[in-house]
């Protein structure tokens, strides 16, 4: 079994103490040098997943969160979030705050002692059940708070294109996390075929990967994408989910040369590549061979803020980011195509859509949806999630039934190994409730 990346539990206090000694010695030496001391605290470091226009909007919002506190903030945006964070933890130089979309990773960090519990005043506004309490070292506390969500159960197409017989765009490449556009397909299909309760069991490692409902989701995906020539398959495996690059950035798969396709299954965030285009968005349910009673269930992803620092200002920053005022500032700094979306939970102002596409997505999120289920792979332990990513890439290249059975057996072996370790107080145990109504 592959060991999970990151620092082991034992030995951390000693290293932190050593680091503190080094910091104190450095401070003493600086105090002896005229002009080298300063009363200004260092900026708080925030690590997050947003780059490009999204990152610029978030960074601009951070700069407006001072409000007389005297603290400044440095934002580090990266597409290789896990790799960057693991490297920083191993070097004992973690960020003060990190924004992650993986409940699985956050659970792992909390059980290893890397996270600080979120202040109670912040957890009160968290969108449940995606900010669960975790039992760590005999105490049950909350370790992160969602900042925003993205609706995933969506299909995009150009206006005027019939939807009766879609030809699907597929781009599976994404730097260190290639494969997740394929896992989104499998997850969304399983949700609409088997329902939220069954989906929840599978996402939280309580259902075998060889279960007929899981197998059917994979074979449905293969059937929907069947008939592709080899050159099309290879192009999809090597092309980014954003499509090919154009003069002003990514074009989106619907506009990319070589992709003779009419429809795309993708999350709400992809609207930034289609800004200004004549693009239609609609719920994915009717395309997935699902059941009518599950049509109003939607898969979502979330971006959660967690504190890795003992600096009280880090807790204050998370409180400000998750507050109604903080969210309004974030929205005000963002272009319409990358404005963050939020469920209309108690205490938050209603979203004012910037355009027709955002209005449609907002209506689905806050009016149409009866159940919101968190992205299944982002709930799984990191080693199982990563194996899931790899498996969809292999299955997309070779969707033969025999190959699928082999891949699912491999995934089931990893799931069983994680489950066997569940008695260890520091092992991965995901929250069991990941589906809820839009009101939490």
pLDDT band at 187 (very low <50, low <70, confident <90, very high): very high
2 or 39, which is more confident? 39
Residue-level pLDDT at 350: 55
Q: How many CA atoms lie within 13 A of 440 on its CB side?
A: 20
Provide DSSP, 74-86: EEEE-S-HHHHHH
Residue 213 clears pLDDT 70, i.e. is over it: yes
Residue-level pLDDT at 362: 87
| Residue 389, C-beta contacts closer than 8 angstroms, at least 6 positions apart | 177, 178, 179, 180, 182, 183, 377
Q: Is 264 helix (H, G, I), strand (E, B) or coil?
A: strand
Q: What CA–CA distance (Å, rounded) separates 429 from 348?
A: 31
Q: Is 307 helix (H, G, I), strand (E, B) or coil?
A: strand
Residue-level pLDDT at 71: 83
CA distances from residue 376 to 175, 195, 300, 395 in whole angstroms, order as listed: 20, 13, 9, 18
Report the share of the chain in percent with pLDDT over 90. Answer: 57
Residue-level pLDDT at 421: 64
CB neighbour burial string for 176-201, b if at least 16 within 10 angstroms, e if fewer? ebbbbbbbbbbbbbbbbbbbbebbbb
Which range is least confidently modeled, 59-73, 217-231, 280-294, 296-310? 59-73
Q: Is 252 left (phi over 0), alpha (psi -120 to 50) or beta?
A: left
- Give residue-wise pLDDT tens across range 286-302: 999 999 999 999 999 99
pLDDT band at 66 (very low <50, low <70, confident <90, very high): low
CA distances from residue 26 to 14, 33, 200 in whole angstroms, order as listed: 18, 11, 50
> What is the mean predicted confidence (pLDDT) over 78-93?
94
Q: What CA–CA distance (Å, rounded) separates 377 from 425?
A: 23
**Quick one: which of 111, 72, 116, 79 has its CA closest to 94?**
116
Q: Do residues 342 and 348 touch, judged by C-beta distance below 8 A?
A: yes
Q: How many CB atoms lie within 10 A of CB 68?
A: 5
Residue-level pLDDT at 333: 87
> What is the mean predicted confidence (pLDDT) over 384-409?
97
Q: Is 3 helix (H, G, I), strand (E, B) or coil?
A: coil
Q: CA angle 123-132-309, nearest 5°?
A: 60
What's phi and psi for 401, nearest 5 deg? -60, -45
Residue 226 clears pLDDT 90, i.e. is over it: yes
Q: Is 36 left (phi over 0), alpha (psi -120 to 50) or beta?
A: alpha
Helix (H) or strand (E) holding 312: helix 312-321
Domains and CATH numbers, the chain: 12-28+37-149+302-349 (3.40.190.10), 151-298+377-423 (3.40.190.10)
* Residue 355 token pair: 């355009």
> Mean pLDDT over all residues of the chain?
85
Instruction: Tell me the residue length of the chain.
Output: 440
What's phi and psi for 52, nearest 5 deg? 60, -145
| Residue 153, C-beta contacts closer than 8 angstroms, at least 6 positions apart | 188, 191, 192, 283, 284, 285, 297, 298, 299
| Residue 242, C-beta contacts closer than 8 angstroms, at least 6 positions apart | 171, 250, 251, 252, 253, 270, 273
Residue 319 clears pLDDT 80, i.e. is over it: yes
Report the share of the chain in percent with pLDDT over 70. Answer: 84
């Amino acid at each position: 079994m592959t060991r999970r990346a990151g620092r082991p539990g034992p030995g951390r206090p000693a290293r932190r103490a050593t680091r503190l000694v080094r910091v104190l010695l450095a401070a003493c030496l600086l105090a002896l040098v005229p002009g080298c001391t300063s009363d200004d605290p260092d900026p708080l470091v925030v690590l997050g997943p947003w780059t490009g226009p999204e990152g610029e909007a978030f960074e601009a919002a951070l700069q407006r969160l001072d409000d007389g506190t005297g603290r400044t903030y440095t934002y580090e945006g990266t597409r290789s979030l896990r790799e960057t964070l693991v490297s920083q933890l191993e070097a004992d130089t973690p960020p003060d705050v990190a924004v992650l979309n993986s409940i699985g990773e956050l659970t792992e960090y909390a059980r290893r002692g890397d996270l600080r519990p979120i202040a109670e005043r912040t957890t009160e506004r968290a969108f449940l059940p995606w900010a669960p309490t975790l039992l760590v070292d005999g105490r049950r506390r909350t370790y992160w708070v969602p900042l925003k969500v993205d609706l995933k159960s969506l299909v995009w197409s150009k206006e005027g294109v019939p939807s009766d017989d879609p030809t699907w765009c597929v781009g599976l490449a994404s730097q260190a996390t290639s494969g997740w556009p394929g896992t989104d397909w499998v997850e969304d299909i399983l949700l609409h075929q088997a329902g939220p309760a069954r989906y929840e069991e599978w996402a939280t490692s309580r259902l075998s990967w060889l279960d007929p409902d899981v197998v059917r989701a994979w074979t449905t995906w293969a059937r929907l994408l069947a008939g592709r020539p080899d050159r099309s398959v290879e192009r999809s495996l090597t092309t980014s989910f954003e499509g090919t690059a154009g003069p002003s950035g990514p074009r989106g798969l619907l506009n990319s040369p070589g992709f003779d396709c009419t429809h795309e299954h993708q999350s709400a965030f992809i609207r930034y590549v289609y800004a200004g285009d004549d693009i239609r968005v609609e719920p994915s349910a009717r395309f997935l061979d699902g059941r009518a009673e599950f049509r109003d269930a939607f898969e979502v992803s979330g971006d959660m803020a967690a504190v890795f620092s003992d600096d009280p200002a880090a807790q204050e920053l998370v409180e400000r980011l998750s507050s109604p005022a903080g969210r309004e500032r974030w929205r005000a700094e963002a272009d319409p195509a990358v404005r963050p979306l939020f469920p209309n939970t108690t205490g938050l102002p209603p979203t004012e859509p910037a355009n027709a596409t955002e209005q449609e997505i907002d209506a689905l999120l806050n009016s149409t949806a009866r159940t919101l289920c968190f992205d299944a792979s982002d709930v799984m332990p990191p080693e199982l999630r990563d194996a899931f990513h790899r498996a969809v890439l292999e299955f997309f290249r070779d969707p033969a039934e025999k190959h699928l059975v082999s891949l699912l057996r491999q995934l089931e072996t990893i799931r069983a190994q994680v489950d066997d370790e569940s008695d260890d107080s520091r092992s991965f145990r995901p929250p069991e409730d990941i589906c809820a109504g839009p009101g939490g």
